[in-house]
Amino acid sequence: MEFSIKSGSPEKQRSACVVVGVYESRKLSVPAEIIDNVSHQFLSDIIRRGDMEGKSGSTLLLHNVPGTLADRVLLVGLGKEKDFREKEYRNAIATAVRTLNETGGFDGTVYLTELNVKKRDAGWRIRHATLVALDTLYRFDQLKSKKEEVRRPLRKLTFCVGRRSELKDAEQALIDGQAIAAGMSLAKDLGNLPSNFCTPSYLAATAKALADEYKMKLDVFERADMEKLGMNTLLSVAKGSHEPPKFIVLQYLNGKKDDKPIVLVGKGITFDTGGISLKPAGEMDEMKYDMGGAASVLGTMKAIAQMQLPLNVIMAVPTTENMPGGGATKPGDIVTSMSGQTVEILNTDAEGRLVLCDALTYVERFEPACVVDVATLTGACVIALGHVASGLFSNNDSLARELLDAGQDASDRAWHMPLWDDYQDQLKSNFADMANIGGRPAGSITAACFLARYTGKYDWAHLDIAGTAWKSGKDKGSTGRPVPLLTHFLMGRAGRA
C-alpha cells in the first residue's frame, strides 16, 4: 500500500474516491459540508431522503457529485458527535478502508483524519489511521492454494490534515504508523502460522532475517549451550518434543554506548499440548499461538528498527514445543532452574513460567534499565480481563504506569493487576523451593508471582496476553497485540511520544 499526506480542499481532489464523515442526526463534518456547498446541497438532499443517517458503521457511495473532481464520494457514518472518541475514530477508518477496497477505484483520499478526536492531535490521528488501514487489509492466505482475489484492490491512500502546519507531524506519524503495522503484521503471521511451520527453528530463522536486514546482533543458543548455562527448567519443557529448542537473543544497539538496555522477553511455546498434563481436545489448535509473546517482541524489534529509535533494546526468546512423550517431564519431577532455585513441576501445562524463568535469569547479565516479559501465560487472565485488556504486573509502579499510558496511547490497553506477596504462599511445595502452580484462585497472579521470584535484581513488568493476542470464533486469528503498546512504550523511552 502506498500512502501520502495532503492538506487541501475536498472538492479539488482528483481521486477515485473522496471519503468524508457524517454524524448521526444527519450532521455533516466540515469537509462534507464543503462538498455540500459546492454541489448545491447534493449531500444534504440525499441525507434528507433518509439514505444516510450517520449511524456508525454505515456507508453510502455516491458517483459524479456535482462540483467535485473525484469520481466518487464515500459518506461514512460516524455515530453521535458527542460520543465520537478514539474507538469510534478507528472504527470509521476501518469502515472506510474496507469499503474503498471493495469499490472499483484504486485510490482513496480520506478526510476522516481531519475529524476532531478529543485530546488527540493530527499526529495521533494519522498514526492510528495508518495502523488501522493496514490492520484492516491484512490477510493470511499463504497456506491456501487458491487466494481470494480482490477484483480492483486499493493501492493508494491519501490522508488529509486540516492545516498546513500539521503536515510535518503527520508525515512522521505516517512513517511511525507503517513501522508499527509492519511489526504487527510480522507478529500476526507468526501467530497464524501453524506449529508444523512455525517451530523454534523457524522463530530463530525469523530473528536471523531481522538481524541481517537491520544489522542487529544475534545469538541462538542450542540445547547443548543451554545445558552448559544450566537452563534446566526451560529444557524440562522441551524433553517431550522432537523439535530442537532454541534460546534466541537479538540485540538492537542504536543508543549511546553506555545507555542501559531495555530487555524484552517473549514466551515462545510454538505448540502447547499441556505435556503429560494433557489439555482437552477442544480448540487445542489455538495453542499454536502460545508463541504470541515471542511474536510480539520480534514484531516490536522490527518496528523500532524500522523507526531507528535511538535506544539499546535486547530481545530474549526461550522457545520450544510442550509435548507429551516417553522422555517428557512428569508431574512431581523437580528441576533446578538457572537461578539455583528448585521447582516441583506439579502440572506440566504450566510450562510458560518454566521457560520464562530461565530467560529472566539469563538477562541479568545485561544490567537492564528494565525488563518487560510478554506471554500467553494463563487461561485465568482471559477469565479476569477477557479479550479487551492485557494483564500487567510489575515490581515497579512507575514502570507499570509507563506501560499503562503507552497502551492507552496505542489503543492497546493493559490493566494493572496486584503482585502482592500474600499470593506467594500458594506456590509452596513440600519437596522443592516452589511449585509451578498455585491452584485455581488468582491463577494469573500466582503465575506472575512465580516469575517475580526470578526478577528481584531489576525493574520488571510482565504482560499476560493470553486474552489479547488472539481472536477466537469466526474471525479466528492473531491480533498483533501488544506490538502497539510495546512500540509506544519504547517511543516514549526514546523521547518520541
Q: What is the dihedral sign for C-alpha 46, 51, 54, 60? A: negative
Stretch of 49-57, 227-235, 351-359, 443-451 contacting Zn ion, by CB under 5 A:
351-359
Q: Does residue 66 contact residue 39 with C-beta atoms inside 8 Å?
A: yes
Q: How far apart are CA 261 and CA 251, in angstroms?
A: 9
> Which is nearer to Zn ion, 36 or 272 (by Cβ)?
272
Smallest distance from the beta carbon of 376 to Zn ion, in angstroms?
6
Our finding on whether 352 is near Zn ion (CB under 5 A) is: yes
Distances (CA, A) of 174 to 121, 125, 129, 135, 184: 13, 10, 9, 14, 15
443 is in the binding site of which of ligand BES, Mn ion, Zn ion, none (Cβ under 5 to 8 A by kind)? Answer: ligand BES
Residues shown for the chain? 497
Q: How far apart are CA 294 and CA 494, in angstroms?
A: 22
466 is in the binding site of which of ligand BES, Mn ion, Zn ion, none (Cβ under 5 to 8 A by kind)? Answer: ligand BES
Which residues make up the interface to ligand BES (CB under 6 A)? Answer: 272, 290, 347, 349-352, 376-380, 382, 437, 443, 466
Smallest distance from the beta carbon of 352 to ligand BES, in angstroms?
5
Which residues make up the interface to Mn ion (CB under 5 A)? Answer: 272, 349, 351
Torsion angle of C-alpha atoms 93, 96, 102, 103, degrees rounded to 10? -150
Q: Write out 438-482 in H/E/C secondary structure.
A: CCCCCHHHHHHHHHHCCCCCCCEEEEECCCCCEECCCCCEECCCC
Q: How far apart are CA 319 and CA 371, in angstroms?
A: 18
CA proximity to 206, closest of 181, 223, 188: 188
> Which is nearer to Mn ion, 129 or 234 (by Cβ)?
234
Which residue reads 490497553 in cell numbers?
413
Smallest distance from the beta carbon of 440 to ligand BES, in angstroms?
8
Q: Considering 353, 453, 481, 493, which one is annotated as catalytic?
A: 353
353 in catalytic set: yes
Binding mask 247-286 for Zn ion (x = CB under 5 A): ----------------------x--x--------------
> Which is nearer to ligand BES, 264 or 427 (by Cβ)?
427
Q: Considering 98, 223, 260, 279, which one is annotated as catalytic?
A: 279
**289 sits in which H/E element:** none
279 in catalytic set: yes
What cell numbers appear for 296 in the block? 510480539
Residue nearest to Zn ion according to CB distances in the complex: 272
Our finding on whether 464 is near Zn ion (CB under 5 A) is: no
Q: How far apart are CA 122 and CA 422, in angstroms?
A: 46
Smallest distance from the beta carbon of 448 to ligand BES, in angstroms?
12
> Which is nearer to Zn ion, 11 or 272 (by Cβ)?
272
Smallest distance from the beta carbon of 465 to ligand BES, in angstroms?
9
> Which is nearer to Mn ion, 398 or 472 (by Cβ)?
472
> Which is nearer to ligand BES, 54 or 275 (by Cβ)?
275
What burial class does residue 452 get, using C-beta atoms within 10 Å of its C-beta: 0-12 exposed, 13-18 middle, 19+ buried?
A: buried
Our finding on whether 321 is near Zn ion (CB under 5 A) is: no
Smallest distance from the beta carbon of 321 to Zn ion, in angstroms?
10
437 is in the binding site of which of Zn ion, ligand BES, Mn ion, none (Cβ under 5 to 8 A by kind)? Answer: ligand BES
Q: How far apart are CA 184 and CA 298, in angstroms?
A: 9
> Which is nearer to Mn ion, 131 or 276 (by Cβ)?
276
Q: How far apart are CA 300 and CA 289, in angstroms?
A: 17
CA proximity to 253, closest of 403, 356, 176, 366: 366
Our finding on whether 290 is near Zn ion (CB under 5 A) is: yes
Distance of CA 472 to the CA centre of its chain: 16
Q: How far apart are CA 310 and CA 495, in angstroms?
A: 9
The one-letter amino acid code at 303 reads A
Smallest distance from the beta carbon of 352 to Zn ion, in angstroms?
5
Residues involved in catalysis: 279, 353
Contacts with Zn ion by CB under 5 A lie at: 269, 272, 290, 352
